[in-house]
Amino acid sequence: MDKKLLGVIVMIFILLIIPSNSNAEHQLLQQRIDNAKTGDTIEIPAGVYEEPIVIHKAVNLIGNEDVLFHIESDEPAITIAANHVTLQHISINYNSNEDGQAAILMQSSENKLTHIDIDSENRGILLDEAHNNLLTNITLKGNEELPIPKRQRGIDLWKSHENTITYAHISFVEDGIYIESSSGNIVHDNIATHSRYGYHLMFTKETELFANESYENISGMMIMGTNGTQVYENILQHNQKNVQSLGLLLFDVTNSRVERNDIAHNRLGIFVEDASENEITNNDVHNNFIGLQFKHAEENNIHHNAFSANVVQGLAEESMNNTTNNNYWSDHNGLDLTGDGVSNLAYKVDPFYLHLTNKYPPYRLLFQAPGFLFLEKMMHTPAEQQLIDYAPLLVSPLQTPEMSAENNWATLIISTILFISSLFIIYLGVKQR
Amino acid sequence: MKNKLFLFTIFTALVLALAACGGGDGATGENEGENTNDAATTYEPEDIKETDVCEVCAMAVADNEHATQIVLTNERSIKFDDIGCMYEWIEENGEDDIGTAFVRDYNSEQWFDFTEGTFVFDETIDTPMAYGIISFSDANEAEKFIEDFGKGDMLTYSDLANHEWVMHKEMMGHDHDDHDDHDTDEHNDEEHDEHD
């Protein structure tokens, strides 16, 4: 009985002591930051911290897996106001009533955030006029229960230049990585899932996006109003939550390079709208509903891409002077008279279906209906409004010799098996007689 | 032989039915086109759904004060995420098929007729596609906004025809050397939050 009483007293004591302890720890932490000298390293003791902190000195704050900032406040959980700050190995659980507030607000330059784990209903990390920072190994998760319009951005850059964001894993937010009015940022090897847009650029200059992945978002990458963007080796797949879901959108984009991306299982693979002078090459666009769509796109150079197994390989609308030769179209019945691997018959995509369904959406039900194809042939569309590849490739440019050798072997083995089994069946049949 | 005849009859019937549908739509369109001059025809705005995307820029249309829509004479509604996108659509497609164009009041977010609005423009007003124009059903509210915001031009519907519709991508000509002055720049967080 005495032991039980003692147990209860100890429990009450612990419950009373924990909050005050965490508060004391916090005050100590803020005090330690305030008292630190430039360049000092502060090890954050394990524990739960419940008050926001402000870093206004160039210090290194090092946590560990048992450091948790559990912050419910109108202020950001951590504000980085000084340059040359390092923050690593901490977890943040953040909730704010202040709309648009971020778990980490960075207003300074040359900082390094690494191994940060954020769970936030609000914005994750906001770089507000912050430059030359490195954000790496960030895990960021929004609230899965919230509908997308109520969610906020994961990593948000506003007028922030030459930052690097890498190895971030972002899910259940509005836009995974959003960059606006910024230049020279590098975003690579990140994964964004279950959000509105995986990666969203607005009015940026010379942004580099490579080796990123985007799955199960409404759209993979939305690149809008940008100049000099480089998009390469990204994987944009299974973005089809919405009837207008896209793998990659280039809207009002100039001088960009889009290369070697794997764009598959989206509603629309690549949508090029109001865009000009872009180089789109060596992309693997497959298993989308529509592979490539142009709208008011001019003077883009699209070559050596592979378009395979898309329900509609391509569509063009009021687009002129685009070079679309030397692509591989899996549904093209080509004829190679010269043996150079290039078909002598052109591959044409007629915009008739798109025009008609834009005006009368119910006609979508008649997609690929024989009557529709007949009408398409009857209603002649001017050549400049069609997407035409005058020299389609007969073999995918993305298929390496090893791959084709492997394919040949596989075909040989399967046909041999089929041949032997058919001989066996015939033999059995004959024997029974 | 009988079967073939039967199939042919069905096929012909289907083709005729399809043609009739198409013709029907066209005819309705024409009738409704005439109705634009008929004051009795009213068009109702639709609610913004999570799946709506802007007809011009392909972005998701947020259910906020910046959303706009055109209800066409065939009663199909097309939506836009920014007044600028809607204006671009009208410039390109003309006004013949428009039943009513709707914008939302900046404060109440209520739909009203685009042609009856008062507008405020300033390139620092953040709108989804950075056109910098917001709409008010009441001119006094627009005036009050300019007063509170500290700047902005008030425009009537007819002024919009002379307005230069451009997206204000302020960083496109950004010079990398001016990083150091960022501390002195005044930044309006509230404005930034509105960006979509």
Nearest CA of chain B to the CA of A23: how many Å? Answer: 30
Contact: A205, B15; criterion CB under 8 Å: no
- Which residue out of B28, B182, B185, B190 would a mutagenesis test of the A interface target, given it has the greatest number of A Cβ atoms within 10 Å? B182
Pick the residue from chain A with its C-alpha nearest to B193: A100
Task: Name residues 243-262 of chain A within 8 A of B (Cβ).
Answer: 243-244, 246, 249, 251-252
Provide the token pair at A403.
């791959």
**Confidence at residue A384, expressed as pLDDT on a 0 to 100 scale:** 64
- Which residue out of B12, B16, B169, B196 would a mutagenesis test of the A interface target, given it has the greatest number of A Cβ atoms within 10 Å? B169
**Confidence at residue A368, expressed as pLDDT on a 0 to 100 scale:** 76
Pick the residue from chain B with its C-alpha nearest to A149: B62
The separation between CA A274 and the C-alpha centre of its own chain, rounded to angstroms, equals: 21
The separation between CA A398 and the C-alpha centre of its own chain, rounded to angstroms, equals: 22
Nearest CA of chain B to the CA of A250: how many Å? Answer: 10
Residue A90: in which H helix or E strand, if any? strand A86-95
**Confidence at residue B172, expressed as pLDDT on a 0 to 100 scale:** 41
The amino acid sitting at B35 is N
Contact: B59, A224; criterion CB under 8 Å: yes
**Confidence at residue A7, expressed as pLDDT on a 0 to 100 scale:** 63
Pick the residue from chain A with its C-alpha nearest to B24: A360
DSSP letters spanning B45-107: PPPPPTT-B-TTT--B--SSTT-EEEEETTS-EEEESSHHHHHHHHHHH-STTEEEEEEE-TT
CB pairs under 8 A between A and B: 87
* CA separation for the pair A275, A146 (Å, rounded): 34
* Whether B142 contacts B131, CB under 8 Å: no
* CA separation for the pair A326, B83 (Å, rounded): 40
Contact: B195, A180; criterion CB under 8 Å: yes
* CA separation for the pair A322, A297 (Å, rounded): 7
> Which residues neighbour B91 within 8 Å (Cβ) at sequence distance 6 or greater?
B165
Contact: A225, B169; criterion CB under 8 Å: yes
This complex has an ipTM of: 0.72
Within an 8 Å CB–CB cutoff, is residue A129 touching chain B?
yes
Cβ atoms within 10 A of the Cβ of A110, count?
15
Rg (CA), chain B: 23
DSSP letters spanning A69-84: EEEESSS-SEEE-SSS
Within an 8 Å CB–CB cutoff, is residue B176 touching chain A?
yes
In terms of Cα–Cα distance, which of A168, A17, A189, A20 is closest to A104? A168
Contact: B169, A161; criterion CB under 8 Å: no
Within an 8 Å CB–CB cutoff, is residue B50 touching chain A?
yes
**Confidence at residue A11, expressed as pLDDT on a 0 to 100 scale:** 57
Burial A294-307 (b: 16+ CB within 10 A, else e): bbbbeebebbbbbb
* Whether A106 contacts A84, CB under 8 Å: no
**Confidence at residue A372, expressed as pLDDT on a 0 to 100 scale:** 79
Q: What one-character DSSP code corresponds to residue A331?
A: T
**Confidence at residue B102, expressed as pLDDT on a 0 to 100 scale:** 95
Nearest CA of chain A to the CA of B193: how many Å? Answer: 6
**Confidence at residue B196, expressed as pLDDT on a 0 to 100 scale:** 47
Within an 8 Å CB–CB cutoff, is residue B182 touching chain A?
yes
Per-residue pLDDT of chain B (196 residues; tens, 9 = 90+): 456 666 666 666 555 555 544 443 333 333 434 444 445 578 999 999 888 889 899 888 989 999 999 999 988 899 999 999 999 999 988 999 899 999 999 999 999 999 999 999 998 898 999 899 999 999 999 999 999 999 999 999 999 989 998 888 764 443 443 443 333 343 444 445 444 4
Contact: A203, B167; criterion CB under 8 Å: yes
Within an 8 Å CB–CB cutoff, is residue A171 touching chain B?
no
Which of B14, B172, B183 is nearest residue A203 as measured by Cβ atoms? B172
* CA separation for the pair A247, A231 (Å, rounded): 12
Contact: A251, B58; criterion CB under 8 Å: yes
**Confidence at residue B28, expressed as pLDDT on a 0 to 100 scale:** 39
Pick the residue from chain A with its C-alpha nearest to B23: A360
Within an 8 Å CB–CB cutoff, is residue B93 touching chain A?
no
Report the sign of the C-alpha dihedral through residues A323, A328, A329, A331, in that order.
positive
Per-residue pLDDT of chain A (433 residues; tens, 9 = 90+): 466 666 666 555 554 444 444 556 656 889 999 999 999 999 999 999 999 999 999 999 999 989 999 999 999 999 999 999 999 999 999 999 888 899 999 999 999 999 999 999 999 999 999 999 999 999 999 999 998 888 999 999 999 999 999 999 999 999 999 999 999 999 999 999 999 999 999 999 999 999 999 999 999 999 999 999 999 999 999 987 777 789 999 999 999 999 999 999 998 999 999 999 999 999 999 999 889 998 888 889 999 999 999 888 888 877 778 888 999 999 888 888 888 889 999 998 777 777 777 777 788 788 778 887 788 778 777 766 678 899 999 989 887 767 667 777 888 899 999 999 999 898 888 776 6
In terms of Cα–Cα distance, which of A62, A58, A52, A106 is closest to A85? A58
